[in-house]
Amino acid sequence: MRILKTPSLHSTHQSSQAVPVLRWATGLIVAIGMAMPLSAAAQSSGTDVTFHKDIEPILQRACQTCHRPGGVAPMSLVSYDEVVPWAGLVEYRTHLRDRAGAMPPWYAEKDVGIQDYKQDPSLSDAELAKISSWARGGVPRGNAADAPTPLVWDDSGVWAAGPPDLIIRTEDIFVEGGAPDWWGDIPSVPTGLTQDRYVKSVEIREVNDRDMSAAGGTVGGRNIVHHMIWSTQVFNEDGTSDGVQVSWPVHEIARNPDIFDEDAGRLLRANSYLVSNSVHLHSTGVDTTGHLEIGFRFHPEGYEPKYRPAIFGLGNGVDISITGNKDRQELHAYAVMTTPTKVVTFEPHLHAPGERMCLEAIWGYTIETLACVGYDHNWVRGYTFGNDSAPLLPTGTVLHIVGYMNNTATNPNVPDSRNWQGSGNRSVTNMFIDLGMRVTMTEDQFLQEMADRRRKLALGPNDHVIGCPLCLAPLVAPVELTDEEKKNMTEAQINYLSLTDEEKQKLGRSRVMISQTEGE
């Protein structure tokens, strides 16, 4: 068991955080003030929005995984009586939408870039309008017959990606209340797997004995593991690694599941062990014992991946310079694609001053924003693009990330905004990285992916696909291949350049429209 104890001499760390803690407390008081019972006039106003018919389904879909009895959130949002005292706060936090503090914790901006993500819990404009109408219109209960069937939670907890096929448990870790942060390794544990399997998703959650009903503040006050960099390895009889290390996405506090591309499952080898020599532990403020559970979901036996992970860095953790008392500072980093690449996920990694990151693709003379997301240092989110929306980028594309930093007193995560900040591993220093997953493809695989997407989405020459600059090229500049030309081409090349009858019809209609426009 890993044990962390409180040092005999306490540091002055507490005073340096007084200002942000006060700011946080002030904000909480304001928010709670908004959640005070509504006036009699407001309660008597008419509205068609009721708790059971309109609000309860939203809470079930987007909130109750955490906000339920025994959940990790500070209050339950299941019954009408539980929700009403927090009506104003629910309205306030949901309407933050894509900025730090928003609930549910999902920060993808809805007015730029790709909008199709897997496991997206965010609320629609219509849902937000219902919450406002209900909170400001007297919080009517409505007819219980309109309520959805209550969700049932069992003692095994919730796995957001679905029930795992294999769960690995680390050894118990004890962290004493008030102990300093600690970095190091933890004992390796066997997977117990007896045959190689390919993994479709991995999810990590912390299980500890912290009394969540008494825990307050951020998720950091409810967990002892801040992050874990880990791999799986097979050991020889003498205890040494066989030299093959399979890396997995970094676990960070409050992280959502990692979903691999359907054609790029990651290999979990038979007889392997979970290995980590980089774990960051911190205190919750009270003595806490806990462990991590790693849940794997497998592809069917016999599955073989088509694509390999694309291994390249996108970010800067070396020469960051952030000025004190200044907002809207930008950081930039670039990477050139040396092979056709599919972007599977976008995962911003910033530290305390970070408030936003955007991902752009530069190809030829075009610069296209793929995604912009807000950043909350208390929640780590990976944004997995939908199967038909993941960017398909040709060789030579430049990926560009832009980080937006706020090192002022308006950012409650910054301990002292007067200080200059540079690069480093600690939260009071900085990283600027896109940790997202990408896969590399052959030219033929790339052409086939584009052709399949074009036809599945029934695209025409006047459509636009964000993140796929060549998807529509055969429709915009069609060619009629001769039999002689086809002899020197691969099947994927022919398939990409050839148009189906339906595509030819769309192309004909488009040309008619253009001709009519030119004649006016």
User: Which of the pair, 40 or 242, is modelled with greater confidence?
Assistant: 242
Of the candidate ranges 43-47, 219-223, 285-289, 302-306, the one whose mean pLDDT is the lowest: 43-47
Q: Say whether 70 sits in a helix, a strand or coil.
A: coil
**Torsion on CA atoms 386, 389, 395, 399, rounded to nearest 10:** -80
| Distance from the first to the final alpha carbon of the chain | 80
Q: Residue with structure tokens 């290995």?
A: 275
Residue 44 contacts residue 145 (beta carbons within 8 Å): no
The pLDDT assigned to 357 comes to 98
Report the alpha-carbon distance of residue 301 to residue 369 in Å, rounded. 38
Alpha-carbon distance of 395 to 84, in angstroms, equals: 54
- Give the pLDDT score at 157: 67
Which pLDDT does position 40 carry in this prediction? 35
Compute the Cα dihedral for 160, 163, 288, 214 and give only its sign.
Answer: positive
**395, 339 in Cβ contact below 8 A?**
yes
Closest CA to 284 of 239, 225, 335: 225
What Rg, from alpha-carbon coordinates, does the chain have?
26
pTM beyond 0.85: the answer is yes
Q: pLDDT at position 511, please? A: 56
| Banded model confidence at residue 513, pLDDT cuts 50, 70, 90 | very low
pLDDT at site 210: 86
- Position 280 pLDDT exceeds 80: yes
Mean pLDDT of 405-425: 93
* Spatial distance between the Cα atoms of 170 and 2, rounded to a whole number of angstroms: 11
Q: Is 19 helix (H, G, I), strand (E, B) or coil?
A: helix
Largest pairwise CA distance in the chain:
86
CA distance 263 to 135: 45
The model's pLDDT over 370-391, given as tens digits with 9 standing for 90+, comes to 999 999 988 889 999 999 999 9
Dihedral of CA atoms 334, 336, 341, 347 in degrees, nearest 10, equals -10
Domains of the chain: 37-146 (no CATH), 166-302 (2.60.120.230), 315-440 (2.60.120.230), 443-519 (no CATH)
Query: Phi and psi dihedrals of 239, rounded to 5?
Result: 90, 0
pLDDT band at 467 (very low <50, low <70, confident <90, very high): very high
Helix (H, G, I), strand (E, B) or coil at 518: helix
What is the arithmetic mean of pLDDT over 55-82?
A: 92
Structure tokens at 84: 């009403």
- How far apart (Å, rounded) are the C-alpha atoms in residues 121 and 383? 11
Query: 384 in helix, strand or coil?
Result: strand
| Mean pLDDT, range 423-440, rounded to an integer | 91
Across 305-389, the runs of DSSP E, i.e. the strands, are: 308-309, 315-316, 326-336, 341-343, 345-346, 348-349, 354-363, 366-374, 383-384
Dist CA 264 CA 438 (whole Å): 10
Contacts (Cβ under 8 Å, ≥6 apart) of 274: 168, 170, 188, 189, 190, 191, 230, 231, 232, 294
For 286, list phi and psi in degrees, rounded to 5: -135, 160
In this predicted structure, what is the pLDDT of residue 104?
96
Flag whether pLDDT at 156 surpasses 70.
no
Q: 70 is written with which tokens?
A: 């025994």
Q: Indicate the average pLDDT of the chain.
A: 88
pLDDT on residue 23: 39
Residues 6+ apart with CB under 8 A from 307: 261, 263, 264, 342, 439, 440, 441, 445
**Residue 111 tokens, joined:** 């007015």
Question: Could you tell me which of 402, 356, 405 has the C-alpha nearest to residue 376?
Answer: 356
Place of tokens 């408030």: 355
CA dist., res. 300 & res. 262, Å (int): 12
Distance CA 310, CA 341 (A): 7
Q: What pLDDT, on the 0 to 100 scale, is given for residue 13?
A: 34
Q: How far is residue 103's CA from residue 260's CA, in Å, rounded to a whole number? A: 25
Q: Is 432 helix (H, G, I), strand (E, B) or coil?
A: strand
Better-predicted residue by pLDDT, 278 or 10: 278
Q: CA 246 to CA 305: how far, in whole Å?
A: 15
**Tens of pLDDT, residues 96-114:** 999 999 999 999 999 999 9
Instruction: Considering only residues 348 and 154, tell me which one the structure prediction assigns the higher pLDDT.
Output: 348
Contacts of 311 (CB under 8 A, 6+ apart): none
Segment 207-221 mean pLDDT: 74
How many C-beta neighbours within 10 Å does residue 494 have?
14
Give me 71's structure tokens: 């959940």
Q: What is the pLDDT of residues 121-147, one digit of tens each?
A: 999 999 999 999 999 999 999 999 999
443 secondary structure, DSSP code: H
Q: What is the pLDDT of residue 240?
A: 94
**DSSP H or E run through 166:** strand 166-169
